[in-house]
Structure 1
C-alpha cells in the first residue's frame, strides 16, 4: 500500500456513521455507564439539552431522572432521531423530545436550559471551542455544561495484537482526516476554558471490556464496523487503508474477542463547566 497520504480535510464528518453496528454500541449507553459524573447535578424539574443524542438511550435515561422536567435530544440524523422517539414512546417516557440540530447553532434562545450535555460529540468537531460557546449561550446562569469524550491516546488492551495496534493507528488517522480530535478526552478542560468558562471541574472515567460477553459484544461490533460502517468508507476514501486490510483488522478484533485473556480499556475525560 502506498505511503502517500492526501492532505487532511478539515470538516465535521462523523467518523463512525450510523451503521447498525454503530447504533448497537451507542444503544448500550446509559447515564450509569456513560454520564455518572453528571448525576449529582440532575434534579427534578430540570430542563436538559442532550447534544448528539444518537439512538436516545442516555437522553431517555436523563428524562427519567429529571421528571417532571423536560429533555430535548438533538442530532444530525433524522432517521436515528425517529428511532429514538419510537424508543421513548415504547418505554412510556413522555417528557423527552427529539429534533434535528446543529451543535454550532442551537435552535434555542439564550439561557434556556439548566443542563447542556454532550457525550462523545466534541471529538468529532473541527471547532469544539465554538460548540462549547454555543452550549454556554443556551445554558441558564448557574446551570452547567457537561461533556464526556474518549481519549484514544490512552486506549490499551491485552493480549498484544499487531492487528489492534494497526486498527488504533488507522482509527486515529481517519478521525483526524475527518477534522476531529481522537485525543479529545485530555483536552475538554482546556477547550472549556478557551470557550470562556472559569468554573470547570474536570474528572475522568473508563470503559473496560473484559468478560466473554463484553468482548463478544465490543469486538464483534468493531469487526463489523471496520468493514461495513462509514468508517470503512472513510478509511478507503482517505487513502489510509484498503478492503483487504480492513478484513484483516476485523479478524484481529474477532481473535481478541475469542481470547479468554482479552481485556480492553478506553479512558474518558469529562467536565462540569458552570455558567
Structure 2
C-alpha cells in the first residue's frame, strides 16, 4: 500500500496473530471459490504477514504466486510462515516493480480500506494485469456489524475504529462503483456473511472474539488520545462488545468479494 498510509491496526505480534485467526476462520467463506490454474501468474497486493497468502497457496498450488507489501517486517513474517513457494517483493502498489501485463490475475484483500484514493489504486494496478486478466478484491464493512446484546456503548467503540481508520472502514458496500469507476468490466460483487452464536463456537472464538473484538480493542490508545471517548466510556463499551462472544451472545458481519476483468 502507499507509503504515506498509516496502518491503524499496527504491526505487533498480537496483530499478526489476529490476522491469522481471521484468515483461518474465514478461509472457506472468502477463498472457497477462488482457485487459479496451473501456471497462472498471480500477484497478491498488500500481503501483510501472509495470512491470506497461505490460503491462496493451498487453493492454487500450481500457480506462480508473487506477493508484495510495503512493510519489510510483514514480508519477513510472511516468508517465515510460508517459505519460498511464493516470490516475495517489497513494493508500493502505486510503483510496482513489474512489467506491463505481467500477471494473469490480481488478488487484493483488506487493502483498499486503508487508502485515501482506492479508485486511483485500482487504476494503477491495471498496468500489471494483462488484458482479459482478472482482479479479485475482498473488503469488510464495519457498518455491517450488528450483535446481541445490543449496546450503544459497544457501538461507540466500533465507531472509534471507523473514525480512526485513515481510509474508509465502510468500503465493502462501495466495491462495485469503485471498480466500475476504475474502468474494469464484468464487475460482480457478492456479500459474504459471518454469523456467530452458541451453536458455532469456532466462529465465536475465531471471528467475534479473536478477530473483530480484538481489532476494536487495538485502537484503545489512539481513541483515548484523540478524545473520542473517556477511559470509563471505553471500558464500558468494550466490556459490552466482549459480551457478544459470551454465552447467549450473537454477532453478524458482512464482507464483500468482488471479481472483475481488465479490458
Aligned to 2:255, what secondary structure does the other structure show?
A: strand
Q: Is residue 69 of structure 2 the alignment partner of residue 81 of structure 1? A: no
Aligned to 1:245, what secondary structure does the other structure show?
A: helix
Q: CA 1:106/1:17 → structure 2, altered by over 3 Å: closer, same or farther? A: same
Provide the C-alpha distance between the structure 2 equivalents of 1:154 and 1:221, rounded to a whole number of angstroms.
15
Q: CA 1:201/1:223 → structure 2, altered by over 3 Å: closer, same or farther? A: closer
Indicate conservation of the 8 Å contact 2:66/2:88, yes or no: yes
Alpha-carbon displacement from aligned partner over 1:189-216 (angstroms, at most 9, x marks no partner): 1111111112212222122233334334
TM-score by length of 1: 0.82
Q: Is residue 50 of structure 2 the alignment partner of residue 63 of structure 1? A: no
Q: CA 1:19/1:248 → structure 2, altered by over 3 Å: closer, same or farther? A: farther
Q: CA 1:207/1:24 → structure 2, altered by over 3 Å: closer, same or farther? A: farther
Provide the C-alpha distance between the structure 1 equivalents of 2:244 and 2:155, rounded to a whole number of angstroms.
12
Provide the C-alpha distance between the structure 1 equivalents of 2:51 and 2:214, rounded to a whole number of angstroms.
22
Shift of 1:232: 2.9
Count residues in correspondence: 253
Q: CA 1:208/1:100 → structure 2, altered by over 3 Å: closer, same or farther? A: farther
Q: Which moved more, 1:16-25 or 1:143-152?
A: 16-25
* Aligned counterpart for 1:187 among listed residues 169, 174, 177: 174
Q: CA 1:123/1:224 → structure 2, altered by over 3 Å: closer, same or farther? A: closer
Note the residue ranges of structure 2 that are not aligned, 5 or more in a row: none
Shift of 1:132: 0.5
Aligned to 1:38, what secondary structure does the other structure show?
A: coil
Q: CA 1:81/1:249 → structure 2, altered by over 3 Å: closer, same or farther? A: farther
Query: 1:69-148, aligned counterparts within 5 Å?
Result: 69-89=63-83, 94-148=84-138
Aligned to 2:74, what secondary structure does the other structure show?
A: helix
Q: Is residue 142 of structure 2 the alignment partner of residue 152 of structure 1? A: yes
Note the residue ranges of structure 1 that are not aligned, 5 or more in a row: 1-10
